Amino acid sequence: MSRSYYIAGNWKMHKTRAEAAELAKALVSQLKDGKHRYLVAPSFTLIETVASIVKGSNIRLGAQNMASEEQGAHTGEVSVLQLKDLGVQTVILGHSERRHNYKEDDALINKKVKLALKHGLEVILCVGELLEEREAGKAEQVCETQVVKGLEGVPAAELAHIVIAYEPVWAIGTGKTATPEDADVIHAFVRKLIGKLYGADAAERITIQYGGSVKPDNAAQLMAKENIDGALVGGAALKTDTFVPIALFA
């Protein structure tokens, strides 16, 4: 079966409401005839602004993270209920910046994954190795642990709401990109792993995005690989002149 390409923009901690509105409007207009699936994930403070602009378009609304509890005394956190109230459809969980800068472990990420699914959100689960892990020959082992622990307790019926994003940490924001071949090896490994956990059909169906310095000039080569089903784009997602060519790659 053919999986559809899924191009997501993670805006990280950038933009004011006015800037976000301008970018969202431009994307709605420039991607309206795009053939792939699209998503933007703005900062929490921008979600309401962006929501009103992408509503009814072919661009899904995402959040970059969420709390592991539904509500309560969690100062500075944002709950799944609050995200749903704003129209958020998808949440990015386990991003390498959350794992490494904010020390989120697999158990916490797994709790968030299950909570998001319980509330009907799609999850983009990020996995990927550090440079020293890759150099030590542990890239596959690291990705396996993150996938297995991230999806622990997730039933096969919920897998349709899971997207996996492979982001080699050493290629995020560094300008280094895994070669399409390097990336495809890990994507193939993750797909095979999903097959072991959930069966061959599930493995065939699951969308696995690549994240890590995706740019207009390498998007098509990455997407041409058999197991790469889209991109989770960081820096290049902040401007139409870099995001649109990735989103519309031929």
pLDDT of 190-242, one tens digit each?
999 999 999 999 999 999 999 988 999 999 999 999 999 999 999 999 999 99
Catalytic residue among 36, 95, 122, 187: 95
pLDDT at position 2 over 80: no
Residue 162: pLDDT band with limits 50, 70, 90: very high
Is residue 167 annotated as a catalytic residue, yes or no?
Answer: yes
Q: Which CATH architecture has domain 8-66+78-247?
A: Alpha-Beta Barrel (3.20)
Domain extent listing, the chain: 8-66+78-247
Catalytic residue among 36, 133, 167, 187: 167
Is residue 52 within 8 A of residue 21, CB to CB? The reply is no
pLDDT, mean of residues 58-64: 98
Find the DSSP H helices in 55-105.
Answer: 80-85, 96-100
- Taking Cα atoms as reference points, which of 117, 114, 192 lies closest to residue 150? 114
Is residue 97 annotated as a catalytic residue, yes or no?
Answer: no
pLDDT at position 62 over 80: yes
